[in-house]
Amino acid sequence: MARYTLEELASKISGAKIENCADPKKIQVESVSPVNPGVTNSISFLASKKMLNEAKKTASSIVLTTSDFAKELEVPCLVVDKPDLILAQVLDLIYPPHKFENKVEENAYVHPKAKIGKNCYIGNFASVAEYAEIGDNVILEDGVRIGRGAKVGEGSHVGPNNVIHHGVIIGKRFRSFGNCTVGGDGFRFVFANGKHNKIPQVGTVIVGDDVEMGSNSAIDRGGLENTIIGDGCKFDNLVHIGHNCVLGKNVVIAGYTGVAGSTTIGDNCTIGGGCGIADHIGIPSGTIVGGGTSVRNTLPKPDIYVGWDYGLTFPEFQKLRVNIKNVVNFQKWARRIKAIEAKLGLTTEE
């Protein structure tokens, strides 16, 4: 961890201002903590009115917040327009990320016909196959495998034990964590003569710029066409994208979600955790799919969809839940009505 005075911290963040502090040189921070309860010599952040009362009681030495919220506080404030976004800069300053050397470890393997850019790190037991191309300022952590003819764009950071299969193209500033696989075979078999016969997958995977993949994610290569991941997509851990899928820009997918083959997802979609997306369907740009939802048909319009396999919007699903509850309770109501009729001596035709 690094230690900064409030004055030093403000000088490193463009546009930041100091409020509620007579002498910012005397206020020091060496950690970042939640606003409730806060910690001495730490900085907390406040971006929502929900936490304003907690911030008024914080033990933290500094609060990173907006000008409006700073007026409500007495604690020294580092004022910015978007504190939740600037928090990333503060975290990098106080907890500097590890800096990898410009080197190839002795037990790594780089094929003589591979191309390695400037200022790269290739870790222990990593390997780069023939005709592969690694851009400038790329980090390949321990155990990474870069396949024949694969390309990794500049500024990328490939996590430990990742496998980038042959012919895969990775864009700039790619980031992945442990044990991801990009470009493994798509899942296609034809049952004949009493067995499942494998169909070769001859497409590849093309990944855009600024894509991030969480640990143990897997992206299948295309069968005849390519699997495409658009710029700015972000995947949580354990996300699977099937062969021939096409994802637009800025698609966010939470953990344990699988997207079956040949499905198209538009730009700026958000898909919750534990979802199952069927094959050969479309999800329009701007759609939100709630966690645990199963989508089996092409969705007709951008909306919030939730449920099992109904493809319902959120209001439609709420109505369905009420109807299901009514059906479940109907038998109890029927028994009560019959008991009342019996006490009154009424008879009804069935």
The verdict on whether 111 is a catalytic residue reads no
Burial class of residue 60 (count of CB atoms within 10 Å of its CB; 0-12, 13-18, 19+):
buried
- Enumerate long-range contacts of 289-298, CB under 8 Å, 24 or more apart: 290/314, 291/254
Residue 172 CA to its chain's centroid (Å)? 17
Pick the catalytic residue from 157, 165, 240, 243. 243
From residue 23, alpha-carbon distances to 7, 65, 89, 192 in Å are: 9, 19, 23, 80
Residue 297 CA to its chain's centroid (Å)? 24
d(CA 214, CA 312): 29
262 close to 243: Cβ distance less than 8 angstroms: yes
Burial 235-254 (b: 16+ CB within 10 A, else e): bbbbbbbbbbbbbbbbbbbb
Catalytic residue numbers read 243
